[in-house]
Amino acid sequence: MTVRDILGEAHLQRPTVSFELFPPRTPEAEASLWPAVEQLATASPDFVSVTYGASGSTRTASRAVVRRLITGTKLVPVAHLTCVEASRAEVTDVIDEFLDEGVRDFLALRGDPPSGVTDWQPQPDGIRYASQLVSHILDVAAGRGIPADQVSVGVAAFPAAHATPDGRQQALDVLAAKQEAGAAFALTQVFFDPEQYLALVDDARDAGITIPIVPGVIPLTTPRRAYRLAELTGVALPPGLVSRLEGADDGTAQYRAGVAAARDLAQEILEGGAPGLHVYTFNKHAAALDLLASLGLHGES
């Protein structure tokens, strides 16, 4: 079953649950990742996505995590794939490698250009946009004789950018192009205002975009993590959350405030019809599982 099938069926019965992991960059991080994955698996996630090339991670490291998820667990991995800083042949090699491993679910992204580059251009034969990467993944799979219904490619969507007057139409056009290219679902960047997600979905439906749009949520349990996330994504932190985290007496109180804020957001978007929750875990299990428990989506609250 691909993620397209899972989202097609599961959200009619219950919200899907999924997690994002990133490849560990140190032996210590590697050692703590797998116990965390074991814990996350207790929530029976519908799929687990693994980032690629983000914040300096490498293709080899991403592949290693995806391979171990396939061979050592029952989890369904979604391999992120980017096209910045790679020739078409290099991207094709990576797709082939993932297909060889048995990966059938991808998240097609452009990736972030190197910092400081304002006028990024792809390599002469490179891939410029995520929508083109969607087509390319599907073409490579088809070229290997893999039936179209056995591969599913997701894409990114951006509720906060959609909420800006200048960004709205562009965000819709880009998402429509991704669907047109064959994308089967979208996962969103983090956001903190439920209305941003709900407006994106409403506008997308009005524009004929029918793919499931799964919201990305993140329990921010320390001010440091919150500031880092804002820096990485460019999504502004809500002042209320910052003051709750800053004003908490100790680490435990910060943790509770962060999980509660994520729960409030998640509750509102689930009530608004979100098909599931994609939880950004930072490779840690506790806050993600406590968030799900507080929503009745895993174990006891």
Query: Catalytic residue positions?
Result: 20
Task: Name the DSSP class of 54.
Answer: G
Give the number of other Cβ atoms within 10 Å of residue 105's Cβ. 25
* Interface with ligand FAD (CB under 6 A), residue from 216, 258, 275, 276: 216
The residue to which tokens 């210590």 are assigned = 28
Q: CB 65 → ligand FAD: shortest distance, Å?
A: 12
Please state, in angstroms and rounded to a whole number, the distance separating the CA atoms of residues 157 and 188. Answer: 5
Q: Which of 2, 18, 152, 189 binds ligand FAD (CB under 6 A)?
A: 189
| Minimum CB distance to ligand FAD smaller for 110 or for 136 | 110
Q: How many CB atoms lie within 10 A of CB 267?
A: 14
Q: Answer yes or no whether residue 283 interacts with ligand FAD by CB under 6 A.
A: no
* Interaction residues for ligand FAD, span 33-92 (CB under 6 A): 51-54, 80, 82
* Distance from C-alpha of 301 to C-alpha of 73, rounded to nearest angstrom: 26
- Could you say which residues in the range 120-159 bind ligand FAD, by CB under 6 A? 129-131, 156
Smallest gap, in angstroms, from Cβ of residue 18 to ligand FAD? Answer: 11
Work out how close the CB of 30 gets to ligand FAD at its nearest, in angstroms, rounded to a whole number. 18
Rounded to 10°, the helix 286-294/27-41 angle is 20
Query: Among 187, 198, 274, 287, which residue interacts with ligand FAD (rule: CB under 6 A)?
Result: 187
The alpha-carbon radius of gyration of the chain (Å, integer) is: 18
How many residues in the shown chain lie near ligand FAD by CB under 6 A?
A: 20
3-state DSSP assignment of residue 252: helix
CB 55 within 8 A of CB 115: no
Binding-site ranges for ligand FAD (CB under 6 A): 51-54, 80, 82, 109-112, 129-131, 156, 170, 174, 177, 187, 189, 216
